Structure 1
Amino acid sequence: MARFKFRTGAWLGALLLTAAALTACSGGSSGGGSAKGDPAKPVDLLKWAGPGPVVTLDGSVAGDAASMDGIYLASGQLTRFNADGKPVLDLAESVDMAKDGLTATIKLRPNLKYSDGTPITSEDFQYAVERNRKGTGASFVATIKSVDVVDDTTAVAHLKGPDPDFLTWLAERGTQLHPKKLIESDPDYWKHPVSGGPYMVDKGWTPGSDVFRAVENPNYPKGPMMAKAIEIRSVPDAASRVLQVTSGELDAAIDLPLSSKDNFPAEVKTSYAGVGGTNYVVANETLGGPFANAKVRQAMSYAIDRKSISQKAFFGLQPASTSPMFNCGDLCERDLLPEKGARDVAKAKQLMQEAGYANGFDAEMKVSSGRGGWQEAAVIVAQNLADIGIRVKVTPVDEGQHFSSITKQNYQLFFTGGGGKAQSTLSQMLNTGDFWVKATGWTPPAEAAEVMQRTASELDPAKRREAYTEAQKIWMDAMHVIPVTERIQLNASRVSPNLLVLQVKNDQKVIVQTVAEAKQGLKAGSL
């Protein structure tokens, strides 16, 4: 059995809990795979739906939830998240960290092959890191200085500093494994990629189509899978997703209106939990004008009634933001926003006057039409901003337009959301070239890079918390991304939660059970 290997060293104390989880035989909950009958009897097809389609399987350009689900299921990963959000070994046989925390030797399992028979090599990891440096997966490789290929199954990652989250990054889309030669030789590779993961894309899939279908990858080392095929369907209308899982047309549905949580029949089980993220109002500075003025953005933050949005749009289940970061435990100090995020219209008007916009201005705010409660929240934000003279037209867009519009900077304001690990969220907000910095056109101050280095590499918990607080204060001064409420996602399923895990702790990562896990009564992702 493969295990995560450590050399002893005091700096590794911050990683001990993760290390304990990172074995190929970690435990899991008891229970079967299929919803009825033999819990270890495979099912032919699992169908679930979210608000949008799988538009790409390239982790360096993806950002929408459906695409990321497709990526995690149909891509090779060195480690893979279990149901508790901990990384367990997958295609890596071992990861050996040096005493000083500056190098990690990664050894692949022997004789690994992609779904087409192409060998999986350590060069593919090196290539993944370099491809993602300027992509949407940049935050996941930000602490890796370089990768040396020792041989076909061994790579050495050189880090910029000790990284308590390094094992997590090996499970993220920024390090998804695909063959360098095929990517570089085929301009259409991402329409029909090979896979090192549990599933491979079925023939005939078109990016952005209503149904993404993938079938079991016979070369996946942890297979066979309990579901021989999966379908991720695009059902933009949230009410339709509720109806389809209620009727049995779908096995599961993701990102449902929080108001529907008590309206399902007994055979449909719901779950809701934080996705490790926040709903935001983001402002595009590249257009110039009022949104390029930090005081205008700060005024908007003061004007937003977070508690009202929490209660009216999200039924009190999504708590009002009190800090820029979501509640990420000991790392994230709470109540950092002025007045703990409470509304202060007088202060907002004062800032608008200081910025030269006492008479306000007109603006448009886009919002995804398929996410539960988002349109209602956007309307309340617009009403709040009207009180300080910002006259906002709310424009719903479908899920595909949502991500495209943000990445192409084709917006003035956007009501949107983000989710993920704490360090990657901070990186996206404050690191030059990372996702939200690039999407909003904001220029981080000089001190941001140094602070972000400390948030990534500081091993003393108290000092790392201090760095996180400094980073949040830089974010508050800019307010290029305005926190509104912490994100909660409601999912519903007709099948065993062991067969299909729809959400891991503080993130959305769909996991499907293996036959080996089902035979041992373990939840998906345990082995």
Structure 2
Amino acid sequence: MNFSRRTLLQIATASTASFMFGTRFATAQASKTLRIGLSTYPAHLRPWILVGYSGHMVSSLINRNLINYDPSGQLVGELAESWTSESPTTWLFKLRAAMFHDGSPVTAEDVRWTFEQIAADNSGAYMYDGVKKITGFEVVDDLTFRLTTEAPMATLPSLMTYPFFSILKAGSTDAEDQGTGAGPYRIVSAEKGVGIELEPNEHYFKEGLPHLQSILITPYVDENARVAALTAGDVDLIDYVPWSAMKQIEANSALALDKVDSGAFMFLTFNGSGPFKDARLRQAVAFALKRNEFVESVFFGYGAEMRGIPRASGSPFWNEEQANYWGYDPDKARALLKEAGYETGLKVQLLATSQYTMHRDTAVLVQSHLAEVGIEVELNMPDWATRVALGTRGAGDFAVQGFGLDSLDPDGAVSIMDPALSHAYSRSRDIEAPGLSDLLAQGRGEFDEAKRVEIYRAADQIALDNTTMCGVAYRATGFGRSAAVTPLAMLPDQLSPFSSVLFDKIDIA
């Protein structure tokens, strides 16, 4: 499938009517009822399996982790009141007095059971690999447990913040997929593809929260319909605000836009089974991209160029030179192609999807930019489900990806920068980066921050030199809301897509 830049302007998305979950979703807003227009109905409500940002929003409203981040990026206790490193391989956790939706207490046994479900063979859990690093779980008493890791693990507290690491009541998933959580709201009813109704959890451990009487969630898959619903007052809050609509929402006095410019990001991954096994060709791609055009054309100026490994700008792990490593240098790109034996050109296939405009439009610009240095790109852009399946099987020479980091710890970027990890559609495969995995393991086990900075700086340089992934552009994370809804607290930088963990404080004036 081939697209030109002109084609981008000719592609239009037809608006569709919103799904309605009973008359409550179509009638005027009830007092203290928040109506959310969600970008898609979650594929499932199973608690520990990756299901995208929309699924995370629902999960974060009904569940809680042991630890989370606050808006300043600091780790704060949720179900865990405190955690202490007793030795490089042991951590002691103390739970706060909290209850599940059914009024039963959250205990160390519930945490142990949750860990066991995630670590079970073929669980499919997002945190399967992370939990496998924990080799011992000792229940000390009802509110205290001790974790033992296979090696020193300074990153263990941040591991507990990862999405889809909710603590559920032991055995509760036997009765229903979502189990019984301890979040601010609980599910009253849910009809797949139609809507979800939530009510407050009167047992929520945060005093005075939540404020709302109910939440009604309706999926609006079409982004234009989602914005139209907010503008018309049919909903009070929408996620995944399309970048083309951000200025419109900002200009509307009845609405407000809460956003973080350096949120999630677009990047490229490479399949080393073809020509991109040669690092010089991967570098050529990285130096051929005009990243400012992605920011302006795909994200309407709501974003930033991504010229290096994703690191939060305020972090000690951010380095200005490394953050600007992949500048636009077409002459260098051509020289690298010549050095690799492709002076007369190279033909490759790029895997993306036509379902999401940010993926589609990114692919079109990559194709255009690479053509200018002699790389002919054939686009393969099926629907999202097919694209994931093809990526999982290793189809294509390289691929467009969109992602946000799960943690502000530098270890949070490992899942996309280390091709030695198990094959996944979201990272490069079958390419070499000598010494990278060893350095990343060292950083994970080092407790001294200054030493960790040195280790990750060396690791980032290896990843950059070998182009184990290729940054394209940061994209703003935006939530649109009625001005009557209290301003939304946002997590910083690349964590911002997961800001719904802070939505327990939402109120309506």
TM-score (norm 1): 0.76
How far, CA to CA, are the matches of 1:142 and 1:469 in structure 2? 27
Q: Does the 8 Å contact 2:401/2:426 carry over to 1?
A: no
Q: CA RMSD in A?
A: 3.6
Q: Residue deviations 1:14-43, cap 9 Å, x none?
A: xxxxxxxxxxxxxxxxxxxxxxxxxxx961
Percent pairwise identity:
20
1:28-107 superposed matches below 5 A: 43-50=32-39, 52-58=40-46, 60-62=48-50, 64-92=52-80, 94-98=81-85, 100=87, 102-107=89-94
Is 1:366–1:411's contact at 8 Å kept on the other side of the alignment? no
Q: Secondary structure at the match of 2:356?
A: coil
1:26-425 equivalent positions in 2, closer than 5 A: 43-50=32-39, 52-58=40-46, 60-62=48-50, 64-92=52-80, 94-98=81-85, 100=87, 102-110=89-97, 112-116=98-102, 120-129=106-115, 131-132=117-118, 135-137=125-127, 141=131, 144-159=134-149, 160-161=151-152, 163=154, 165-173=155-163, 175-183=165-173, 185=174, 189-190=176-177, 192-206=178-192, 209=193, 211-222=195-206, 225-264=210-249, 265-274=252-261, 276-285=263-272, 288-329=273-314, 330-336=316-322, 340-357=325-342, 358-367=344-353, 369-370=355-356, 373-394=358-379, 396=381, 406-407=391-392, 409=394, 412-420=397-405, 421-422=407-408, 423-425=410-412
Instruction: Give 2:446's aligned residue.
Output: 458
Structure 2 residue runs without a partner (length 5+): 1-29
Q: Distance in 1 between matches of 2:403 and 2:187?
A: 26
Change (3 A) 1:491 1:182: closer
Question: What are the superposed Cα offsets for residues 231-284 of structure 1, whole Å, 9 maximum, x if unpaired?
Answer: 444333333322221111221222223343332320101132145543102234
Unaligned segments of structure 1, at least 5 residues = 1-40, 522-527
Q: What is the aligned length?
A: 464
Question: Aligned to 1:298, what secondary structure does the other structure show?
Answer: helix
Contact kept? 1:437, 1:443, Cα under 8 Å: no
* 1:447, distance to aligned residue in structure 2 (A): 2.8
Counterparts of 2:242 and 2:268, CA distance in 1: 20
TM-superposed deviation, 1:513:
5.6
Can you list the C-alpha shifts for 1:204-224, whole angstroms capped at 9, x where unaligned? 443xx3534433334433365
Instruction: Kindly report which structure 2 residues correspond to 1:484-495, keeping only aligned pairs within 5 A, or say none.
Output: 484-495=472-483
Whether contact under 8 Å (2:285, 2:333) holds in the other structure is: yes
Structure-1 separation of matches of 2:341 and 2:411 = 35
Partner of 2:464: 476
TM-score normalised by structure 2 residue count: 0.78
- Go from structure 1 to structure 2 and tell me whether the alpha carbon gap of 1:104 and 1:180 turns closer, same or farther (over 3 Å shift): same
